[in-house]
Amino acid sequence: MKFYTTLKLLRKAGACTNRYLYLKQALGSGFTDNSRIPIETVLEHNGISDTLWLIFNKAVPKTQQDKLLLAGKFAVCDFAAHVLKIYEKQYPQDKQVRNCIRKNRLFLCGKCSRQDLIKAADAVYAAAADAAYATVKAAYAAYATVNADAYAAAYAAAYAAGKEKEIKWQKKQLLKRIKEAESESNTTL
């Protein structure tokens, strides 16, 4: 089953008027309020931020929300891990950011408590306060994953790594995670 949204679901979730109209125009006149819009189409037209927004605001049918939300959270962890090298190059002894990303993934798999995850995030936030700007963005990307601030994490990771190239990589990674979740949904039906 392909994950999708509709114009009606986007409005109900409180989509930003400008971005909603941008998508509606890109789709053309053939789409009605209840026409299925594949998530990958939103990613293609509106980008990572809007796609993560619809995932985290559950602007999809209820039957798809949990799997898509998990896919989105794992993708955001991937974003942070992808720019980890920037932080670790500047601070090779500091493993707090790496630990925070690892704890977040363990939490998503049900193998770490929320309290342990928050402790790891707090350590990263404290470490980031002393870092240089680009490395702060890499560390903040990891911290933001814990607090489900997906947009900030994606932006921070993209900024830390060189925006254009990183955004392209993030889009591919998010699409990969979505397709994996769709595939899992097909096998569990």
Nearest Cα neighbor of 100 from 81, 87, 85 is: 81
Per-residue model confidence as pLDDT tens digits over 2-15: 999 999 999 999 99
Cα 133 to Cα 90, 104, 141, 152, 170, distances in angstroms: 11, 23, 12, 15, 21
Per-residue model confidence as pLDDT tens digits over 118-156: 887 777 655 555 454 455 566 556 656 555 555 555 556
DSSP code at position 38: E
Residues 75-91: what's their mean pLDDT? Answer: 80
Residues 23-52: what's their mean pLDDT? Answer: 94
The pLDDT of residue 37 is 98
pTM, full prediction = 0.80
The pLDDT of residue 75 is 87
Higher pLDDT among residues 63 and 132, named by residue: 63
Residues 102-108: what's their mean pLDDT? Answer: 86
